[in-house]
Amino acid sequence: MTHFKGKDGFKNKVALITGAGSGIGQATALELARRGAQLWLTDINATGLEQTAEQVKALGAQCQTFVGNVSSSTDMKKLAKAVHEQHPALDILINNAGIGVAGRFVDTTLKTWNKVLDVNVKGVMLGCHVFAPNMISQGGGHIVNVASAAAFIAAKDMPVYAMSKYAVLGFSEALRADLYDHGIGVSAVCPGVINTAIVANTLFEGSVGNNDTVKNKVVEFYKKRNYTADKVALGIIDAIEHNLAVRPISPEAWAMYLAKRWLPGVVDWVGRRDLPFMAAD
Measured CA to CA, the distance from residue 281 to residue 267 in angstroms comes to 17
Residues 6 or more apart whose CB falls under 8 angstroms from that of 77 comprise 130
Spell out a b/e string for 152-172, using b for 16 or more CB atoms within 10 Å of the CB, else e.
Answer: bbbbebbbbbbbbbbbbbebb
Measured CA to CA, the distance from residue 172 to residue 191 in angstroms comes to 15
Residues 6 or more apart whose CB falls under 8 angstroms from that of 58 comprise none
Measured CA to CA, the distance from residue 206 to residue 188 in angstroms comes to 30
Strands 63-67 and 38-43: parallel
Handedness of CA 268, 269, 272, 274 (dihedral sign): negative
Q: How far is CA 182 from CA 3, 91, 130, 177, 245, in A?
A: 14, 13, 16, 10, 16
Identity of residue 105? F
Q: Is 161 a catalytic residue?
A: yes
Return the active site residues: 161
